[in-house]
């Protein structure tokens, strides 16, 4: 019975991470970049998969060995760093959850014709129901698995139907006509940036799956999460490439919807509604859970009432969307901060991996240490550059 429970949690953590990454922004980014780069976008996806796997294995392993969440480890490395990171995560999470609820509302609008605001409120109510249950962890795992599975299967169907030039896609994945660094940075930020990479790691910690003896299970869950995200990204890329290769032009107002509609007709548009809603609602759940996990350890009162904090987080996000809409400047600023979170915490966790006060006698793999620092340096430089360009525009 224990083994079955562990398997369910491991799979649930993988899907929680993956579905947190696969939100409305994920769908839009993938289709837009495919429209711009064509088959060569495959190279960016391949680079993203490698970077994501290294970053996430580093983060999840150190969290598991330390038996502490990311913010507590960061505070042990540099006092106050964990509080700074948590502030970034919560602010970014609130902003992104407003966008996620907007995506959920759009999905229900496509499916049933109701207004996006009503659709967003219905979606928020479903998420609140899940966290209201005493079995919130189990419900969250199952919901992420079912919605995530439906989303991936429908996207594979659309990809096959669009008849993509698979040979060209494979060739240009390894020998691209053009390498677009910004697309790689954007994909990495959308796959393991901000709160996303911690979603599954904190879920495993919450379920008690941690310690050196559990590292094999943690590795499998982590790589499964990256695998699910990658499969979704690859097949969405192929679906868009198939449509473009037939001479169609994607609708700039809603690129992912036009991919589904051009590939399968009106039925495809309804499929897009299902995929959009599944992507958005699972991102709402993953974002709310993970954002609150970054502050719940700061006091016993917060930890005891964390489910109510999650519910409040969702209610606040829904209220902002219903009364204000999507605050564009806040979303852009959150995106810039989101890019800073990964290098900040990855650097802190790599330092923590060498501190006996944090990890005891555990020896972090040399390969992960070296490649982790390379990713830290690259992502930090790019995040600072992006933030420096965006902030003057926002403040101007």
φ and ψ of 12, to 5 deg: -60, -40
Please give the residue range of the domain that contains residue 221: 4-393
> Could you list the pLDDT tens digit for every one of the 396 residues in the chain?
344 457 888 999 999 999 888 888 889 889 999 999 999 999 999 998 998 899 999 999 999 999 999 999 999 999 999 999 898 888 888 888 998 999 999 999 999 999 999 999 999 999 999 999 888 888 999 999 999 999 999 999 999 999 999 999 999 999 999 888 778 877 887 777 777 888 899 999 999 999 999 999 999 999 999 999 999 999 999 999 999 999 998 888 889 999 999 999 999 999 999 999 999 999 999 999 999 999 998 889 988 999 999 999 999 999 999 988 776 666 666 666 666 778 888 899 999 999 999 999 999 999 999 999 998 998 888 777 766 766 666 565
- Residue 278 CA to residue 289 CA, distance in Å, equals 17
Q: How many structural domains comprise the chain?
A: 1
Structure tokens given for 131: 């966290």
Q: Which residues fall within 8 angstroms of residue 73, CB to CB, at 6 or more apart?
A: 62, 63, 66, 82, 348, 349, 352, 358
Q: What stretch of H or E contains 320?
A: helix 306-323
For residue 223, give the CATH number of its domain: 1.20.1740.10
- Residue 183 CA to residue 47 CA, distance in Å, equals 10
CB 205 within 8 A of CB 63: yes
CB 18 within 8 A of CB 148: yes
Q: Which residues fall within 8 angstroms of residue 158, CB to CB, at 6 or more apart?
A: 235, 239, 259, 260, 263, 264, 268, 271
CB 278 within 8 A of CB 286: no
- Residue 345 CA to residue 88 CA, distance in Å, equals 11
Other Cβ atoms closer than 10 A to 227: 14
């Amino acid at each position: 019975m224990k083994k079955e429970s562990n398997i369910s949690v491991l799979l649930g953590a993988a899907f929680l991470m993956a579905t947190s990454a696969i939100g409305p922004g994920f769908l839009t980014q993938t289709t837009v970049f495919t429209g711009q780069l064509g088959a060569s976008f495959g190279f960016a996806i391949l680079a993203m998969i490698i970077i994501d796997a290294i970053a996430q294995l580093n983060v999840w392993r150190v969290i598991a060995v330390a038996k502490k969440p990311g913010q507590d480890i960061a505070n042990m490395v540099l006092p106050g760093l964990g509080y700074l990171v948590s502030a970034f995560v919560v602010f970014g999470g609130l902003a992104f959850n407003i966008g996620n609820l907007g995506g959920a509302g759009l999905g229900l609008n496509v499916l049933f014709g109701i207004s996006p605001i009503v659709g967003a409120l219905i979606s928020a109510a479903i998420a609140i129901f899940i966290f209201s249950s005493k079995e919130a962890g189990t419900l969250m795992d199952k919901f992420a698995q079912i919605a995530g599975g439906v989303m991936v299967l429908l996207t594979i169907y659309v990809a096959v139907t669009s008849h993509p030039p698979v040979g060209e896609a494979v060739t240009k994945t390894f020998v691209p006509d053009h390498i677009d660094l910004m697309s790689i940075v954007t994909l990495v930020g959308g796959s393991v940036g901000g709160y996303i990479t911690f979603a599954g790691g904190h879920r495993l910690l919450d379920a008690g799956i941690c310690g050196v003896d559990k590292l094999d299970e943690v590795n499998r869950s982590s790589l499964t999460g990256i695998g699910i995200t990658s499969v979704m990204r690859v097949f969405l890329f192929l679906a868009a490439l198939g449509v473009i290769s037939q001479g169609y032009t994607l609708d700039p107002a809603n690129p992912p919807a036009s991919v589904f509609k051009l590939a399968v007709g009106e039925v495809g548009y309804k499929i897009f509604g299902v995929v959009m809603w599944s992507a958005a609602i699972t991102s709402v759940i993953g974002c709310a859970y993970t954002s609150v996990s970054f502050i719940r350890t700061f006091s016993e009162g917060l930890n005891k009432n964390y489910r109510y904090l999650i519910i409040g987080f969702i209610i606040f996000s829904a209220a902002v969307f219903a009364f204000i809409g999507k605050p564009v400047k806040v979303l852009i600023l959150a995106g810039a901060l989101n890019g800073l979170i990964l290098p900040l915490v990855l650097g802190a966790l790599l330092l923590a991996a060498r501190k006996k006060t944090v990890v005891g006698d555990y020896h972090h793999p040399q390969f992960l240490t070296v490649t982790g620092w390379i990713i830290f340096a690259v992502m930090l430089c790019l995040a600072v550059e992006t933030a420096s360009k965006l902030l003057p525009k926002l403040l101007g």
